Structure 1
Amino acid sequence: MQSSFHLSQLLKSFIMLGVAALATSAMANSPVGQWHTIDDKTGELKSMVVIVEQQGVIKGRVEKLLRKDADQNAKCDKCSDDRKNQAVLGLEIIRGAKKASGKNVWEDGEILDPENGKTYGLRLTPIENGAKLEVRGSIGPFGRTQTWVRVPGTN
């Protein structure tokens, strides 16, 4: 009887580990997590953005400004929507992206560049097993892709 109990407990433990591994793998291949943005000109860390998913919709905010010369009190004075004159720290820069059917891509949202106040169409694509995130901002056929790097030790 006792060996049956231990076997049952062992089986439950393996199942729980499998579920945890699947959940971790799913998180690693999604844009959800903490990301370092990289300055296009200098190649230095620019900021840390936290991306979350709520009811199937992705949103992201600036958690930290990391450039050594960054104004920690900067406002989005060039924004023209509800984010106008809001602090860049804590600012929601990603809105409304959803996972594309059958693909490992999130799209149909928007991304805001707080430096120029412009919003762009958005596509997020996790790459390298979720270690990096291709962030594509575009207006019509024109756009630019940045590669963000997952903050070490986070999912």
Structure 2
Amino acid sequence: MKKIISLGILVGLFSATSISFAQDIVGTWQQIDDKSGSPKAIIQIRKESNNTYTGKITKITPRPGYTPRERCNNCPAPYTNQPILGMEIIKGLKYVEGTNNYEKGRVIDPLSGKFYDAKMKLSATGKRLSLRAYLGVSALGRNQTWLRIE
């Protein structure tokens, strides 16, 4: 009987650990271009002291037939002419308690200089992150998939 109870406690602890891992977006992610399906950039997401999440470009992935832009030319201040490499493109994401969702963030597209509202959803495995960038209404936007880099 003690073995069964111990096994149950162990399984419960493992499940709780898996769930908390699945709800964590902190880490390194490969951004996938929603139009071409090719890798676009490496994004590092961290949790801030105010419990929001911020994402920064740490590497621009070379793509065939594409010369990466080095600076954010059309971006408003404080992003004007800032190097894209090292730029914080996501700010203010907040975890939605009891889900794998993060909402109320903002994302900037460094190629167009436009800001969008942002929300993200982490897959149950914790290896895939879906970004929804939109203006005003979530139905009017685009999706991107990001893959966790271990």
TM-score normalized by structure 1?
A: 0.77
1:11-32 deviation per Cα after TM superposition (whole angstroms, max 9, x unaligned) = xxxx9xx69x82x752443221
Asked whether 1:82 is paired with 2:113, we answer: no
Deviation at 1:33, TM superposition (A): 1.0
Letter in 2 for 1:29: Q
C-alpha distance in 2, partners of 1:29/1:102?
Answer: 9
C-alpha distance in 2, partners of 1:41/1:124?
Answer: 18
RMSD: 2.2
- 1:1-155 to 2 correspondence within 5 Å? 22=17, 26-55=20-49, 56-68=51-63, 69-71=66-68, 74-141=70-137, 142-151=140-149, 153=150
Q: Which has the larger radius of gyration?
A: 1
Q: Check 1:82–1:27 CA distance in 2 against 1; reply closer, same or farther (3 A cut).
A: farther
CA contact (8 A) 1:31 1:124 kept: no
Secondary structure of the residue that 2:91 maps to in structure 1? strand
Identity %: 33
Matched pairs, number: 134
1:100-124 deviation per Cα after TM superposition (whole angstroms, max 9, x unaligned) = 2332211111011101011111101
The structure whose residues are more often helix, as a share, is 1
**Runs of 4+ deviating beyond 4 Å:** none
Structure 2 regions of 5+ residues with no counterpart?
1-9
Secondary structure of the residue that 1:140 maps to in structure 2? coil
